[in-house]
Structure 1
Amino acid sequence: MLRHWKKRWPLGFLLLPLSAAGFSYETPAISPETESGFEEKPGWKAEKFAVAAANPLATDAGYQVLKAGGNAIDAAVAVQMVLALVEPQSSGIGGGSFLLHFDGATVQAFDGRETAPAAVDEGLFLDGEGEPLAFMEAVASGRSVGVPGTLKMLEKAHNKHGALAWDALFTPAITLAEEGVKVSPRLHQSLASDEALRNDSLAKAFYYQGKDTPVAIGEVLKNPALAEILRQIAQHGIHVLHEGAIAEDLVQRVNTHHDRPGEISLGDLAEYEALIREPLCTPWRQWKVCGFPPPSSGHLTVMQMLGMLDHQAMLEAPLDSGAPSGGWLHQFLEVSRLAFADRNRYIADPGFIGAPDGDWNTLLAPAYLAKRAALVSSDKSMGSGAKPGNPGELNVSWAVAPSQPEYGTSHISIVDADGRAVAMTSSIEQAFGSRILADGGTGLAGGYLLNNQLTDFSFVPEVEGKPVANRVEAGKRPRSSMSPTLIFERESGEFVGSLGSPGGAAIIHYTARTLVALRDWDLNAQEALNLPHAITLGDSVFVEADRFPEETLDALEEYGHQVTQRELTSGLQVIMRQDDATLFGGADPRREGVVMGD
């Protein structure tokens, strides 16, 4: 049993309308982990169900829903609403999400990715001379805000699969917003290090109390505006975020931004549609790994990396002194360069561009991956020399998009008592998104943050006369790196695990390395998450500071990698079904999350 905290409400309340539930919810007597550094966690075992999320209060909300007889989708709704309150810098109702759901027989992919407003075009992030804006100038502006999709996506998933009443699932978040939650070290540090958020008058008044100093660690922060917005959504449905006063407030906040106003409209909000897509399920030795199709690049890039690794002759033992070895890291980094080269040319919103040969799986064809893997040298890094391959014919010759930053995000993994499972990755992109706080027109303190997801488009619409697949277009969904993942036994189809991570483009590296550690290195979920990270998004290699032996770093440099140590703050959540049919969950030691279950 994973339960560490006293039950907070009668188990039957979720079956009743919110107004008639007849229960008293107390803020759980816990506070998140002390800081964003590295704090080892034990891993958690459960017999029947489990939920893993980035903050203990959010995990607790999901646990209570599962305990009350709710299913994985019900729990995901409750968890996400609490994350909007306690981890506002990462995800919330002003952003977008991808959700994979296994109902015991089939997997569905629910797409709640933001869309570009109808009034924008490919020049959205170009200045008056046609040059791309500086990244942060674009981020902290009205131009960066896409039409949010998280709530419409959750509503669609709940309508199809939810067991408990929609309105009751908002009770934990509403209660916590009204009573207040203690400011975590991670939120405080994020506020202290961010300068742009203070330029928003509502955000400064709420998070900095009108001063330059952010709310203190441990201070109880109430959010009455968010409580009222969530109450309206609970009682009247998500259309209140897309129509009426709350929607009007969103449009006004974006379109009257003090520096760079956006062009979002009430029509954009009213017309947004969450989609159900066919997941990509890829055989990988004894497993079948299911992930999200484009506009996510996550699954395709992860599985390209893993497929190319399987075509490599191993240079040395993959683990050395409790960390990935220099030889294994060299191969891992090299295949990631090749996979990212393909990603930057081919992957974008499938409503606007076509897959090579009309099928995204051409990028995962064994013969193609074997050809790509042969480009990896056993003794020398290719550095910035990775070029995209030719997996199949295209209707348009796409340019390779220049690299640009990606940030943000939170991940939720859930397995319920009936074996249904969720892997959901949710984001507002950069920390604190567009740095625009919206109060829904309530006039109350607080509110929710709006995304900056449009900066996930390429700022440059063409390169050397060729269009960039991921350029800005009206109604288009920007490419994402979010990689919610469900694992199954290849032969039997039995569920094996759920995982995912935040981390921008590095999500892909974090997810790929974790899958290898789980399948090939005989590590449990927590042991896999405790391993140090190494990534490359271009020429330089970034390794997690103070986590690798000097001999490993020296080996990477001997291969020709330019190595820099830095913080690599993943937020992986993993739940795996063990051989005895019990569950074992891990939460990333770099963040505040925990796993709970029975």
Structure 2
Amino acid sequence: MAMSFPVILNGRGRKALPLLAALMLAALPAAAQTQAPLAPAPEAATGRIAKTLGTAQRYMAAAANPLAAAAGRDILRKGGSAVDAAIAIQLVLNLVEPQSSGIGGGAFLVHWDEARKSVSTLDGRETAPQAARPNRFLGPDGKPMKFVDAVVGGRSVGVPGTLKLLEAAHQRWGKLPWPELLAPAIKLAEDGFTISPRLNGLLNLEKNLGKDPLAAAYFYEPDGQAKPVGTVLRNPAFAATLRTIAAVGADAFYAGPIAEDIVATVTGHKTNPGDMTLADLKAYEVEEREPVCGQYRVWRICGMGPPSSGAIAIQQMLGVLETRDMARMGPGAEGAHWFSEAGRLAFADRGLYLADPAFLSVPISGLIDTDYIRSRALLVSPDKSMGTAKPGDPPNKRAMLLAPSDGIEHGTSHISVVDANGDAVAMTTTIEDGFGSRLMTKSGFLLNNELTDFSFLPEEDGKPIANRVEPGKRPRSSMAPTLVFDAFGRLYAVVGSPGGSQIIPYVAKTLVALLDWKLDPQRAVDFPNFGSRNGPTEIEAGTEAEGWKAAMEAKGHQVRVVDLTSGIQAIVKTPEGYLGGADGRREGVAIGD
């Protein structure tokens, strides 16, 4: 059967083993930074954990916490599908990695159906309430609010989509009963789990979460200190919420007491209330979108289309790199130069053209057109950085008067799964910034701050910004759940990462490491992060990439040495089975049988 790889043009439509603190290596030394980073990292660096390459013969699950990955593997052992495993993983992550994702947020899912040889994508991105207006994040002086002032409170909360996405995926590709998939998280919420070194470290660094009474009682001691590593956390409120959802389905989240709790939490914030209504929750719908697919050498790479910019930007970067012999260059300053220049070009287009396709005609086919990308590649000099790239003029774009905007994007988690039938899921899931809006519901979960992924400025020089706030709109994302296929159309790799707008270079780096440099998935995900988001060239502190700095500065790069806290999960299919890599910058594992 021929593979189905459509390209959208425009329009709508952790504890498999106990995680011991002793496994946590000493935090990498923060190298002297030449300048401050572009924006704060979505989640702070908390050191590295030494990881070994995961191996399996029949199926594999990779997630950012061992307890979550184990829940997914157990579902696969019971004959569950890749989607079944991803659902169980997500709900456990809600507990053990609450800073990154949960049912109070949104997600993008890319699915491979081995029997049908087809890729499908589901958009569970949050939406702006109907009361939202373009000036939402402007202060009384007409200037953009400070990020933290916009985030903390109800103003930043979008209508969550994760739970409806999980239910929609289960209805199409699930095998085990829905309640069985929620059971691992229910048990964990009731019995409790121990606070890991990473969660403890992030709680210690967090300044605003403790101001929310429910979050303070759950995460902190009475004196305001974060509960220490090894403390058992129990969440009976979340267990009760999941029991209701197990019995009734996702509708129990979008109407009734849980929905009323969400709205009361959002609108009841004392200093920064939001305007979400019960009607906003009831109206939420998951969107199925056509995948964005493109060629890289002999490989076919598929991902999520708008409102995510991930697949388009990665395809553009790879299209530029395809004009070079990256295998010959190998890891080093020369390859990092080309990689960074490719990132500049992709982010320039992303800033101008990418937004919710229901509100803007996005020229997707033009942006990933091979001839267009090759014309952009001609702008790259082998000897000198271009500094700041300008947007291009892709084919198939309609006349538009828009202003470019970078926008602020932050953190997430990623799940990669392949089941015994060869079906696969790449799902990137988020509540946006670390600990989201810092609002915890009585129902036991944190709420997102996804609306701060919109541009704070509605216009620039009298021109509207594509990613401005509008009612019912989905904010632009960089999430890039990715599937890779070989020259014969066979599934080869399942990849993705958290990291806000840095997701794009994180995933692109991993693909180059896997496909050009032939690193195994563990070495590929752990390899130093680097690249440019059309600003300075960023290289990861405390890694071998620091050794490239002088050579890159000689080419005119403004280099910043910073913490780059990815959380990449990669699974690669081989004739013997599966190899998996879980990013050592986080606590995850890749496990299977």
* TM-score by shorter chain over 0.5: yes
State whether residues 116 and 473 of structure 1, in contact with CA within 8 Å, keep that contact through their aligned partners in structure 2. Answer: yes
- Residue 517 of structure 1 deviates from its aligned partner by 1.1
1:515 partner letter: L
2:450 equivalent to 1:453 = yes
Q: Whole-Å Cα distance in 2 between the matches of residues 414 and 395 of structure 1?
A: 38
Q: Does 1:84 align with 2:80?
A: no
Cα shift at 1:283: 1.8
Aligned equivalent of 2:414, options 411, 421, 428:
411
Q: Distance in 2 between matches of 1:262 and 1:167?
A: 32
2:354 pairs with one of 337, 342, 347: 347
Pair 1:366-2:370 in alignment: yes
User: In the aligned structure 2, how far is the partner of 1:125 from the partner of 1:549?
Assistant: 37
Asked if the contact 2:414/2:429 (under 8 Å) is kept, the reply is: yes
Say which SS state the counterpart of residue 351 (structure 1) adopts. coil
Please tell me whether residue 123 in structure 1 is matched to residue 120 in structure 2. no
The 1-side partners of 2:290 and 2:307 are apart by: 12
Distance, in Å, in 2 between the alignment partners of 1:379 and 1:28 is: 48
Equivalent position amino acid for 2:579 in 1: F
Describe the shift of the 1:550–1:590 C-alpha distance in structure 2 as closer, same or farther (beyond 3 A): closer
Kept in 2: contact 1:31–1:182 (CA 8 A):
no
1:194 alignment partner in structure 2: 206
Q: TM-score, normalised by structure 2?
A: 0.91
Secondary structure of residue in 1 paired with 2:432: coil
Once residues 144 and 169 of structure 1 are traced to their aligned partners in structure 2, the CA distance between those partners, rounded to angstroms, is 30
In structure 2, the CA distance between the partners of 1:398 and 1:226, relative to structure 1 (3 Å rule), is: farther
Aligned partner of 2:433 in structure 1 is: 430
Is 2:27 aligned against 1:31? no
Q: Which residue, 45, 61, 75 being the options, matches 2:71?
A: 61
| Counterpart-to-counterpart distance in 1, 2:15 and 2:462 | 57
Residue 44 in structure 1 maps to residue 54 in structure 2: yes
2:234 aligned with 1:222: yes
Letter of the 1:266 partner, please give it: L
Give yes or no for contact 1:398–1:469 (8 Å, CA) kept in 2: no
- Residues 308 and 355, structure 2, Cα contact 8 Å, conserved in 1: yes
Distance 2:52 2:256 in 1: 47
Q: Is the 8 A contact 1:204 1:211 kept in 2?
A: no
Distance 1:432 1:401 in 2: 29
C-alpha deviation, 1:521, in angstroms: 0.9
1:473 and 1:592 map into 2 onto residues whose CA distance is 37
The 5 A counterparts of 1:31-430 are: 31=19, 34=24, 36-104=46-114, 105-312=117-324, 317-319=328-330, 324-356=331-363, 360-383=364-387, 385-392=388-395, 394-430=397-433
- Is residue 34–residue 184 contact of structure 1 (8 Å, CA) maintained in 2? no
Contact residue 412 and residue 431 of structure 2 kept, 8 A:
yes
Letter in 1 for 2:555: Y
The residue type paired with residue 275 of structure 2 is: E
Q: Deviations over 1:379-422 (max 9, x none)?
A: 11122x31000003544524343324321100000000000000
Cα distance per residue 1:182-222 (max 9 Å; x no partner): 00111111111111111211111211133320110111111
CA distance in 2, matches of 1:398, 1:305: 25
* Partner-residue secondary structure (3-state), 2:544: coil
Q: In 2, Cα distance between the equivalents of 1:135 and 1:530?
A: 30
Following superposition, the deviation at residue 256 of structure 1 comes to 1.3
8 Å contact from structure 1 (residues 299, 483) kept in 2: yes
Residues matched between the structures, number: 556
CA distance in 2 between counterparts of 1:594 and 1:311 reads 35
Q: CA RMSD in A?
A: 1.6
Equivalent residue, structure 2, for 1:7? none
Q: How has the CA–CA distance of structure 1 residues 549 and 268 changed in structure 2, closer, same or farther, with 3 Å as cutoff? A: closer
Paired position in structure 2 for 1:9: none
Give the match for residue 40 of structure 2: none
SS at match of 1:428: strand
Q: CA deviation at 1:313?
A: 6.4
After superposition, what is the alpha-carbon deviation per residue over 1:338-376, rounded to whole angstroms, capped at 9, x for unaligned?
1100000001111110023xxx12111121111111111
C-alpha contact (below 8 Å) 1:312/1:373 kept by paired residues = no
- Select 1:582's aligned residue among 577, 585, 589: 577
- Range with greater deviation from structure 2 (74-83 or 129-138): 129-138
Q: Kindly provide the amino acid, as one letter, of the partner of residue 139 in structure 1.
A: V
Letter in 2 for 1:211: D
Counterpart for residue 15 of structure 1: none
- Asked if the contact 2:366/2:396 (under 8 Å) is kept, the reply is no
Question: Could you tell me which residue of structure 2 aligns to residue 19 of structure 1?
Answer: none
Number of the residue aligned with 2:32: none
Moved more, 337-346 or 219-228: 219-228
Letter paired with 1:337? R
Partners in 2 of 1:139 and 1:550 — Cα distance?
33
CA distance in 1, matches of 2:393, 2:546: 38
> Aligned partners of 1:494 and 1:550: how far apart in 2?
37
Letter of the aligned partner of 2:410 in structure 1?
A: Y
Q: CA deviation at 1:34?
A: 2.8
Shift of 1:486: 0.7
**Which amino acid in 1 is paired with 2:424?**
A
Aligned-residue offset at 1:317: 4.5
**TM-aligned CA deviation for residue 236 of structure 1:** 1.4
Change (3 A) 1:398 1:46: farther
Q: Percent identity?
A: 49
Residue 479 of structure 2: aligned partner: 482
Task: Name the counterpart of 2:502.
Answer: 506
In structure 2, do the counterparts of structure 1 residues 550 and 73 end up closer, same or farther at CA, with 3 Å as the change threshold?
closer
Contact 1:27 1:176 in 2 (8 A): no
In 2, Cα distance between the equivalents of 1:208 and 1:69? 39
- Residues 27 and 534 (structure 1), Cα distance of their counterparts in 2 relative to 1, 3 Å cut: closer
Alignment correspondent of 2:8: none
Q: What CA distance in whole angstroms lies between the structure 2 residues aligned with 1:353 and 1:534?
A: 31
The one of 515, 536, 541 equivalent to 2:537 is: 541
Deviations 1:280-338 (A, max 9, x none): 12122211111000000000000100101112466x9433xxxx311111111111011
CA contact (8 A) 2:530 2:540 kept: yes
Q: Give the conservation status (yes or no) of the 8 Å contact 1:346–1:398.
A: no
For 2:222 and 2:357, locate their aligned partners in 1 and report how far apart those are by CA, in whole Å.
44
C-alpha distance in structure 1 between counterparts of 2:227 and 2:99, whole Å: 14
| Alignment partners' CA distance in 1, 2:546 and 2:489 | 43
